[in-house]
Amino acid sequence: MPKFRVGVIGIGDISDVYIENLGKYGIVEVIGCAGRDLRKAQEKASRHGLPKAYSDAAELIADPDVDMVLNLTVPAVHAELNLAAIVAGKHVYTEKPLAATLTEARPIIELAAAKGLRVGSAPDTFLGGRLQTCRKLIDEGRIGTIVGAGAFVVSHGHEWHHPNPEFFYKPGGGPLLDIGPYYMTALLSLLGPIVRCGGMAKKTFCQRTIETQERFGQNIEVEVDTHVTGLLEFESGAIATIIASFDVWDSELPRIEIYGTEGTICIGDIDPLDGPNLFGGEVLLRTRETARWKGLPRQLVSNEWERVPVVHRFNESSHRENSRGIGLVDMAYAIVQGREERAGGKMAFHSLEVMEAILESARDGNFHRIESRFGRPAPLPADFPDSEAIPCPVRF
């Protein structure tokens, strides 16, 4: 079996999840890591049994033994490092977003295409059992033609639990660009590309107060909008609403609903942070057969939702147990098989263009046309990666 040698840049807590998960798949091998501190990189490498610890990102990118770079750094440097890796001839898989701005993201996609390299991007949670079950229901026509959708990602921010929450409230942050990509990517993977969008936004609080112990009572100056509403028109004709907020104390809204001519799919959670940012969870379905009305005024015969069995793998419903990294694994198989990767750079670029356009619309009051397009990702087989046959031996 071919094996891609992966170098990890960024050694925060999420790197442990990625490194452990990637160790389960024979097509990839994590050979080293780099951070801003060599000593910490050495500790991380030792903890996971990695043969190499690099002094910095540049040394890792320059290593000829590295075939693929996994970029887990902060969004502000995503563009710089992703582009440097591509210049060096490496495939790239990056944490979201692809870059902090669309202007920075464009050369990443263009140069990779020119050099015949692949770019993949988180989130890959849409490959989890829950959203793949939703995809199966849509593809089977269980809810008919898609009319529209709603996505709701609302909470009261991160200063109450995160030790260093400033970047959530600085340029490149905010609810739409922080946790919004999980929801936007879920919609894109289910419904395809967006052709037009508009938005409204506001900054409710000029300051946020940190509530975690080490920095309790320190104030953060808020520099971004923290309550955003977007309207989305899909190429298919479906229309959707997305609300992303750090200004909401509580909500009983579902995380995502998909509305069809013959039924509705609902993803609902009690915890406002538990939605498409996780791989698993419950899928609810209501169709013409299970939602009949009688009499005047209208009265439901039954208010029960059908709980659809989730048969796909990657169905974890816990922040502590998740499958981050399957997008990278799928990209490795895609390279060998000569097909499109599912968590691809083109969809990540499209998502970033849409989110930027929503925020720009909030400033100028106009609807914005979306220029980029991507191919709707193929469904993930329920037995992935067992279903991925390697057609011939490949050496790297």
Domains (ranges, CATH) in the chain? 4-125+323-344+364-369 (3.40.50.720), 129-307 (3.30.360.10)
Beta-bridge partner residues of 267? 256
Do 32 and 57 form a contact (C-beta atoms < 8 A)?
no
Per-residue pLDDT, 392: 41
Per-residue pLDDT, 220: 93
User: Which residues, including other chains, have CB under 8 Å from residue 374's CB and lie 6 or more apart?
Assistant: 188, 193, 344, 346, 347, 349, 350
Largest CA distance in the chain: 73
CA atoms of 27 and 212, how far apart (whole Å)? 41
CA atoms of 67 and 173, how far apart (whole Å)? 30
- Beta strands 91-94 and 68-71, pairing class: parallel
CA atoms of 353 and 356, how far apart (whole Å)? 5
Helical H segments across the chain, by residue range: 13-22, 38-48, 57-62, 78-87, 102-115, 129-139, 175-178, 180-191, 326-337, 345-364
Per-residue pLDDT, 163: 85
Per-residue pLDDT, 293: 53
Which residues in 235-387 belong to E strands, given as ranges?
239-245, 256-260, 263-267, 284-287, 293-294, 299-300, 306-307, 368-369
Identity at 379, one-letter amino acid code = P
Residues of the chain with pLDDT under 50: 270, 272, 294-298, 392-396
